[in-house]
Amino acid sequence: MKYYFGEDKTEIQVGIDEAGRGSLAGPVFAAAVIWNPDVQDDLSEQIKDSKKLSKKKRTDLREYIEKNATAFVVRCVDNKVIDDINILQATYKAMHACLKDMPIEFDRIIVDGDRFKPFQCRAHDCIPQGDNLYVSIAAASILAKTYHDEWIEERCKENTDIHDRYLWKNNMAYGTKAHTEGIKEHGICDYHRKTFCKKYT
């Protein structure tokens, strides 16, 4: 994994990624991380795309990232806004909220993927599979994923019917067969994205 994008190692670079974009319910989460390049140890070398990590490893690395990052911000945009403005714009909104609330100044934004809505005329680069290449983006992917999954689990604790009907603790609100069959049988709940669930209701 790389600690810098490009040749200018004096730049302060913020990596950004999202989680929950494809879920049928709940918010989309974004995280932004400025990694301290002086922190290069065994654990920093384990930071990678959150999808390639076990739940336990993501949880452990989340604690490590939050302790060792120069700065990080996690923000989300809820299902009602997603329905109003569409998932792409909601993802940008969550990402921009992270960047707006970043407590220190930065020079460049590096984003996982191939699309990004410019932010305050700051330099940005879109990097397909960036969460496999750059520590700051991978760290952002881990934070976004763990915060998303924690949100889902909290809703299941608050209302056991949610898990009983849709098995969210198993599928994290993604469109598994159990989840879509639950929608067909029970209808949608207040947290579902109506625009995502039309074909199941």
The string of DSSP letters for 52-82 reads: GS-HHHHHHHHHHHHHHSSEEEEEEE-HHHH
Count the Cβ atoms, other than its own, within 10 Å of residue 185: 9
Each of the 201 residues of the chain gets a pLDDT tens digit; together they read 899 999 998 999 999 999 999 999 999 999 999 998 888 888 888 999 898 999 999 999 999 999 999 999 999 999 999 999 999 999 999 999 999 999 999 999 999 999 999 999 899 999 999 999 999 999 999 999 999 999 999 999 999 999 999 999 999 999 999 999 999 999 999 999 999 999 998
Question: What pLDDT is attached to residue 50?
Answer: 93
Question: What pLDDT is attached to residue 106?
Answer: 97
CATH of domain 13-157: 3.30.420.10
Closest among 103, 108, 110, 174 to 140, alpha carbons compared = 110
Closest among 127, 107, 100, 98 to 115, alpha carbons compared = 127
Q: Which two tokens stand for residue 69?
A: 């990052």
Q: Rounded distance, CA 71 to CA 33, Å?
A: 6
The packing angle between helices 135-158 and 55-68, to 10°, is 120
Residues 29 and 147: beta-carbon distance below 8 Å: yes
Question: What pLDDT is attached to residue 121?
Answer: 87
